[in-house]
């Protein structure tokens, strides 16, 4: 079962569905939904940190205390590009977001969805 705040490795299909790329993502769906459904909702993680000041993104630095548990290898940006994926596409769990990073993720989701 996937849990909210887990950093997972996925095989993401490109929008044309002709190819895919292995990349990390963070689970944003509620845990009870992750139990009830075979799908989950994730936010893509990118190594491109150019938009780190944008309220729709969350910077994760594994060298800092609040990024150490993420399992990421370098400074990354959680983008609020949301995807519904079948949980069977999760290759493995890399780590978890800290409570501070999860709080910032919640803020970015609220800003993105205008909640």
Which residues lie below 8 Å from residue 94, measured CB to CB, with a gap of 6+? 7, 8, 9, 24, 70, 71, 72
User: Does the residue 91 lie in any domain?
Assistant: yes
Q: Which of 13-22, 78-87, 88-97 has the lowest mean pLDDT?
A: 13-22
Our count of domains for the chain comes to 1
pLDDT confidence of 76, banded at 50, 70, 90?
very high
Tell me the average pLDDT across 19-41. 90
0.85 exceeded by pTM: yes
Asked if residues 90 and 10 have their Cβ atoms less than 8 Å apart, the reply is yes
Q: Which residues pair with 83 in a beta bridge?
A: 42
User: Does the residue 44 lie in any domain?
Assistant: yes
Helix (H), strand (E) counts: the chain: 2, 6
CATH code at 73?
Answer: 2.30.30.110
Q: Which domain holds residue 97?
A: 6-113
pLDDT confidence of 19, banded at 50, 70, 90?
confident
User: Does the residue 106 lie in any domain?
Assistant: yes
Cα radius of gyration rounded to whole Å, the chain: 13
Counted residue by residue, the chain has a size of 115
Instruction: Indicate the DSSP class of residue 31.
Output: H
Specify the pLDDT at position 114. Answer: 87
User: Does the residue 1 lie in any domain?
Assistant: no
Which of the given ranges, 24-28, 63-67, 111-115, has the highest pLDDT on average? 24-28
User: Does the residue 26 lie in any domain?
Assistant: yes
Beta strands (DSSP E) in 47-101 are 57-60, 76-86, 90-96
């Amino acid at each position: 079962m996937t849990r909210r705040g887990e950093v997972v490795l996925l095989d993401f299909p490109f929008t044309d569905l002709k190819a895919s790329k292995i990349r990390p993502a963070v689970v944003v769906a509620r845990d009870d939904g992750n139990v009830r459904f075979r799908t989950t909702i994730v936010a893509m993680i990118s190594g491109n940190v150019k938009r780190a000041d944008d309220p729709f993104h969350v910077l994760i630095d594994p060298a800092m205390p609040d990024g150490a548990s993420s399992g990421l290898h370098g400074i990354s940006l959680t983008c609020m590009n949301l995807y519904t994926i079948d949980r069977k596409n999760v290759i493995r769990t890399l780590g978890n977001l800290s409570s501070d990073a999860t709080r910032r993720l919640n803020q970015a989701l609220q800003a993105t969805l205008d909640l």
